[in-house]
Structure 1
Amino acid sequence: MNKEKNYKLLLKQAGSLLQGEHDLIANMSNISALLFNGLPEVSYAGFYRFQEQELILGPFQGPVACMHIQLGKGVCGKAAETGQIQIVPNVHEFSGHIACDANTNSEIVVPIIHNKKLLAVLDLDSNDFARFDQIDAEYLQKIADLVSK
């Protein structure tokens, strides 16, 4: 199955999972499991919740993760600070990268915004270099938008 077709299926599944469910933690839990199990070459899929001016580890799938990330620090902190999706083909070349898992080589982080306020970030890692691209960004943004509702 090609990448875009797979994302269309994941988006449909995400919509079904989230329909009628309003608990943010429950929704993040199911979405992280859906993405971790539904996307090839993904070693981590999870959320960092924005609380008290920092990112706090939320529901995730994959190896253990950093628990606190300051705004502007690492890929997650940069996405949270700027409100922009961050696609990093080689995390070892990203200034200030936080190595929670030494096996990670590429990363994508999508801010989750509701009513112009940052709720969280969606973070996906891969042990492959250059795993993530604009197709990932487009569909992960759509999934993040579902979570933010």
Structure 2
Amino acid sequence: MEKNAFYQSLVQQAEGLIAGERNVVANMANISALLFMSLEDINWAGFYLVDNDDELVLGPFQGNPACIRIPIGKGVCGTAAQLNETQRIDDVHQFAGHIACDAASNSEIVIPIIKDNKVIAVLDIDSPIYNRFDAEDQAGLEQLIRTFEQQL
């Protein structure tokens, strides 16, 4: 299936899962499960939530146990939260300050989640494959997150 069509389908599935549900944790849990079962060549998919405006705390996820707290501005997740910009990293070992929660991860994409013009969480997806995420993956995942944000 073409990537664009794949992501359109994924967004529709996510919409169906979260429609009418206001509980953020429940929606994050279902979205992380959907992503983990749908995306190829990934080893982790989940969320980190902003805690006390200075760090991220582990939220719902699928994959191996992960780092529980990440300072804002540190690692790929903390950088995405601080800059309010998607971070698409082809080789995490080349990212200054990368936090290795899973030694098997080689590439990563992190997308900020916004409510009331403020980052409240990030979606984090890791892969053991270098260069796993491209611009089409980024656009599709950002669209999925925009859909999620409408439920916040």
Instruction: Give the aligned partner of residue 90 of structure 1.
Output: 91
1:137 paired with 2:117, answer: no
Instruction: Give the aligned partner of residue 147 of structure 1.
Output: 148
Distance 1:76 1:134 in 2: 18
- The residue type equivalent to 2:124 in the other structure is D
Shift of 1:134: 1.0
Secondary structure of the corresponding residue to residue 99 of structure 2:
coil
Distance 1:4 1:90 in 2: 24
TM-score by length of 2: 0.95
TM-score by length of 1: 0.97
- The residue type equivalent to 2:101 in the other structure is C
- The residue type equivalent to 2:50 in the other structure is F
**Unaligned ranges ≥5, structure 1:** none
1:66-121 CA distance string (max 9 Å, x none)? 00000110000000000000000000000000000000000000000011011100
Distance 1:141 1:112 in 2: 9
| Residues paired across the two proteins, number | 149
1:106 paired with 2:128, answer: no
**Unaligned ranges ≥5, structure 2:** none
- The residue type equivalent to 2:134 in the other structure is D
Instruction: Give the aligned partner of residue 121 of structure 2.
Output: 120
Instruction: Give the aligned partner of residue 8 of structure 1.
Output: 8
1:25 paired with 2:25, answer: yes
1:14-73 CA distance string (max 9 Å, x none)? 011111000000000000000010011111100000111210000000111100000110
Distance 1:5 1:43 in 2: 23
Percent sequence identity over matched residues?
50
Alpha-carbon RMSD: 0.8
Secondary structure of the corresponding residue to residue 113 of structure 2:
strand
Instruction: Give the aligned partner of residue 51 of structure 1.
Output: 51
